[in-house]
Amino acid sequence: MDTDLSSQDRKDLDKFIKFFALKTVQVIVQARLGEKICTRSSSSPTGSDWFNLAIKDIPEVTHEAKKALAGQLPAVGRSMCVEISLKTSEGDSMELEIWCLEMNEKCDKEIKVSYTVYNRLSLLLKSLLAITRVTPAYRLSRKQGHEYVILYRIYFGEVQLSGLGEGFQTVRVGTVGTPVGTITLSCAYRINLAFMSTRQFERTPPIMGIIIDHFVDRPYPSSSPMHPCNYRAGEDNGAVYPSVEDSQEVCTTSFSTSPPSQCVFTVTKAHFQTSPPMVTDTLKVPVMGLAFSHQPAALGVGSADMGYPVLFAGGLNAAHPHQLIGPGKEGGVPPVPNQPAHGTQADQERMCTPLDGVHYSAATPSSSEDTETVSNSSEGKCGSPHDLLETIFIRKVGAFVNKPINQVTMANLDIPFAMFAPKNVELEDNDPMVNPPESPETESPLQGSLHSEGSSGSSTGNTHDDFVMIDFKPAFSKDDILPMDLGTFYREFQNPPQLSSLSIDIGAQSMAEDLDSLPEKLAVHEKNVKEFDAFVETLQ
Amino acid sequence: MVGPGRSRCCGPSGAAPAMNCRAEVLEVSVEGRQVEEAMLAVLHTILLHRSTGKFHYKKEGTYSIGTVGTQDVDCDFIDFAYVRVSSEELDRALRKAVGEFKNALRGSGSDGMGQISLEFYQKKKSRWPFSDECIPWELWTIKVNVVNLANEQERQICREKVGEKLCEKTINIVELMNRHEYLPKMPTQSEVDNVFDTSLKDVQPYLYKISYQITDSLGTSVTTTMRRLIKDTLAL
């Protein structure tokens, strides 16, 4: 049986592949021009629209593509690559993406060339249109002009991905099987855009020379010259410099101006598989004077400016994707930035993110107290500092506080109908009295709003009551059959001793004082860096 | 025609291989004002892949195909941009459906959860007095969860997060499209209306219908509405 391609089919297939390659280049370069593309649908076929798609042909781009192909077609081992890179006004450049059109040996002999292959190539081009808007370079390219421009380069042969830095991501646009092989279109894009961070705040005049004259061949060491993707000759973007927030595609450090309790550092999108210390993650940092791990300030911006305690989680170099900490409503709180102390995914079960980081990064006993309480209290809660503060400072008084005054009962141990529960008899002989917490008024301002009616009622009311010995019968519990019944549980766990770090002193301390004490704490930690490192080593 | 949001596949069709309607589900969590743009982004991305140019039939059963133009759309409430087919009619039809979905989501009895479905189907003509069968061959369901955000900062984060999510969804959609699974055979001139929506003047998507369901706070779906967005072709 003759399974070879007929000569007509072969010719058609070659033509399809050639024009597909040219159209691919057009789509990619046009997607990086920095403009919105719009072409019209036409119900009457013009005969010149390959693959039934209205894709304009920029002559220079076609010329470059044909030059690179030099009459050949993509084949096994010979791929057509379009390299997209960014060049700043200072002359730094960085490869952003490599789009590869490859051919492998897997053939589909049964497929009909003139019909199925053609339609599938058309579908692949549509997918390419969609995917070119989805990679990080698209947003960068839409903002090019003043501080940087986007350049493209076409080459043919072996794919070179080394310029993309570590941890680049790949997305496959699609494949089409043909009788001579399978065409694959994919994109490898850079994740680590860190180097931009040092430049993003410098304002430079527009790079007029590059923008206008796109026919200049630059003397690049690489085999083919780079070309700008932007030829808006002389167009003035209104000299709007990207604000700090706008440049978040690059590598961001944007600060929330309010509320003061939060410092938000946003990060470039996608997943960071490895990241140098320069990349920061999004963290919501509570204001209270908590120990934190000292990291070299990655971008050198932000923390000092704001004067807030800045937490760079120690484990940002870990091999897990970093995610933004959002409002916590979209499918739950994202995983914890990984800490060197853990090095596992187990962290991701923890709900409260930055403080866990604090906990495990700080090895010294003096600081661990603070962090312990914080992370204890924060377990099971969402990672917003306000929630955190609430957790620490809610003081629900159990029905009968039979421990000395400095007790804090955690909110989640509140028993139902606390104020109606009979007094506890069986515990310590001293002090069955209910004493309200010594100074609910002197606690943090949040306290007032967080105290429930019940607890304040019970705390104030009970001081005036006479004390009557009544068996403690918690609601909905059976009689004492089992050794550990509900009542016993309540009694035992109702009034845990107050954690020493949660004494009023800390609560009453103002934020400014916290901040003032920070440099000393920092100095202490810095001195103990070796200890921290040793500790981390032991955990790994 | 009102019916359940999901149609059952009925009966084998002679020309096609095993007619399993493939179903894909995408989920997004968005803020209220992002619902429209997010839905449009996903629906347009799917329809970009499921639309061709207008067919022009010639003698001897051959046909030529018109050209599909595309355009970029920037979202206002989401850090996202997508490509859609350049067809105002199609855009209007989708906006209408999404607008109804959004209103239903906002309405009473909803806790902000719902789903919108885009179903591609083929028509199979039946003899009188039976009406035509609609045989779905692909079903896309987008589950939506509307979140409420407290302040501007959360909204800003939500913009970015939803943008990233939509990027992922686009990659998912493209992956699924690339599987080259069953597509209806290219029809003859007499059959073209059974496969394609020929009512638009500039492009020709496969026959589709959009329906949605809103989940009330009890978790059951209380509202089911099906809208026909194609020319009404009841045979009777």
**Is there a contact between B177 and A266 if contact means CB atoms under 8 Å apart?**
no
Q: Quote the pLDDT of residue A384.
A: 41
Burial A207-230 (b: 16+ CB within 10 A, else e): beebbbeeeeeeeeeeeeebbbbb
| Residue B234 belongs to some domain of the structure | no
Give the lowest-confidence range in A254-258, B123-127, B226-230. Answer: A254-258
**Would you place residue A215 in the very low, low, confident or very high pLDDT band (cuts 50, 70, 90)?**
very low
**Is there a contact between A45 and B147 if contact means CB atoms under 8 Å apart?**
no
CA of B51 vs chain A CAs: smallest distance (Å): 10
Q: Quote the pLDDT of residue A353.
A: 36
Query: For residues A138, A188, A192 and A91, what is the CA-based torsion angle, rounded to 10 degrees?
Result: -70
Q: What angle do CA A378, A384, A390 make, to 5 degrees?
A: 60
**Would you place residue A482 in the very low, low, confident or very high pLDDT band (cuts 50, 70, 90)?**
low
- Any idea what DSSP says for residue B63? E
User: What element of type H or E holds A169?
Assistant: strand A169-178
Strand, helix or coil at A381? coil
Mean pLDDT of B47-64: 89
Please write the tens of the pLDDT for every residue from A4-33: 678 888 898 999 999 999 999 999 999 999
Mean pLDDT of A429-450: 42
| Residue B152 belongs to some domain of the structure | yes
Q: Quote the pLDDT of residue A539.
A: 87
**Cβ contacts (< 8 Å) between A134 and chain B: which residues?**
167, 170-171
Taking 80 as the threshold, does the pLDDT of residue B184 lie above it? Answer: yes
Please write the tens of the pLDDT for every residue from B82-100: 999 999 999 999 999 999 9
Q: Quote the pLDDT of residue A30.
A: 95
Which B residues, 128 through 147, put their C-beta within 8 Å of a C-beta on chain A?
145, 147
**Would you place residue B110 in the very low, low, confident or very high pLDDT band (cuts 50, 70, 90)?**
low
Q: Quote the pLDDT of residue B219.
A: 55
Residues forming beta bridges with residue A101, ordered by sequence position: A80, A185
| Residue B192 belongs to some domain of the structure | yes
How many angstroms separate the CA atoms of A265 and A283, rounded? 6
Q: Nearest-CA neighbor of A324 among B154, B152, B168?
A: B154
**Number of CB atoms found within 10 A of residue A290's CB:** 25
Q: Quote the pLDDT of residue A503.
A: 62
Please write the tens of the pLDDT for every residue from A149-204: 999 999 998 888 888 888 889 999 999 999 989 999 999 998 876 555 444 433 44
CA of B184 vs chain A CAs: smallest distance (Å): 12
Mean pLDDT of A402-410: 42
Give me the DSSP letters along A13-39.
HHHHHHHHHHHHHHHHHHHTSSS--B-
Taking 60 as the threshold, does the pLDDT of residue A511 lie above it? Answer: yes
**Would you place residue B206 in the very low, low, confident or very high pLDDT band (cuts 50, 70, 90)?**
very high
Domain count along chain B? 1
Please write the tens of the pLDDT for every residue from A231-250: 443 333 333 333 333 333 33
| B185 CB within 8 Å of a chain A CB | no
* Range of the structural domain that residue B55 is part of: 22-226
Q: Quote the pLDDT of residue B109.
A: 58
Q: Quote the pLDDT of residue A496.
A: 76
Burial A254-274 (b: 16+ CB within 10 A, else e): bbbeeeebbbbbbbbbbebbe
**Would you place residue A43 in the very low, low, confident or very high pLDDT band (cuts 50, 70, 90)?**
confident
| B69 CB within 8 Å of a chain A CB | yes
| Residue B179 belongs to some domain of the structure | yes
**Is there a contact between A130 and B153 if contact means CB atoms under 8 Å apart?**
no
Taking 90 as the threshold, does the pLDDT of residue A110 lie above it? Answer: no
Strand, helix or coil at A84? strand
Q: Quote the pLDDT of residue A141.
A: 92
Task: Tell me which of A111 and A368 has the higher pLDDT.
Answer: A111
Give the lowest-confidence range in A107-121, A279-293, B143-157, B217-231. Answer: A279-293
**Cβ contacts (< 8 Å) between A49 and chain B: which residues?**
67
Task: Tell me which of A353 and A106 has the higher pLDDT.
Answer: A106
Taking 80 as the threshold, does the pLDDT of residue B221 lie above it? Answer: no
Taking 70 as the threshold, does the pLDDT of residue A144 lie above it? Answer: yes
**Is there a contact between B53 and A138 if contact means CB atoms under 8 Å apart?**
no
- Any idea what DSSP says for residue A371? H
Mean pLDDT of A365-371: 40
Q: Quote the pLDDT of residue B71.
A: 95
Please write the tens of the pLDDT for every residue from B133-160: 889 999 999 999 998 888 999 999 999 9
Task: Tell me which of A123 and A371 has the higher pLDDT.
Answer: A123
What chain B residue is nearest to A334 in terms of C-alpha separation? B161
| Residue B71 belongs to some domain of the structure | yes
Taking 70 as the threshold, does the pLDDT of residue A101 lie above it? Answer: yes
Give chain B's end-to-end CA distance (angstroms, integer): 13
Strands B22-31 and B133-147, sheet pairing: parallel
Taking 80 as the threshold, does the pLDDT of residue A425 lie above it? Answer: no
**Is there a contact between A327 and B147 if contact means CB atoms under 8 Å apart?**
yes
Taking 50 as the threshold, does the pLDDT of residue A430 lie above it? Answer: no
| Residue B4 belongs to some domain of the structure | no
Task: Tell me which of A256 and A158 has the higher pLDDT.
Answer: A158
**Cβ contacts (< 8 Å) between B153 and chain A: which residues?**
256, 262, 264
| Residue B129 belongs to some domain of the structure | yes
What chain B residue is nearest to A130 in terms of C-alpha separation? B83
| Residue B50 belongs to some domain of the structure | yes
| Test the A interface: residue of B52, B68, B179, B195 with most A CBs within 10 Å | B68
Instruction: Say what the pTM is.
Output: 0.56
Taking 50 as the threshold, does the pLDDT of residue B4 lie above it? Answer: no
**Average model confidence (pLDDT) for chain B?**
83
Nearest beta carbon to residue A123 from set B49, B154, B157: B49
Which of A24-28, A306-310, B57-61, B212-216 is predicted most confidently?
A24-28
**Cβ contacts (< 8 Å) between A142 and chain B: which residues?**
81
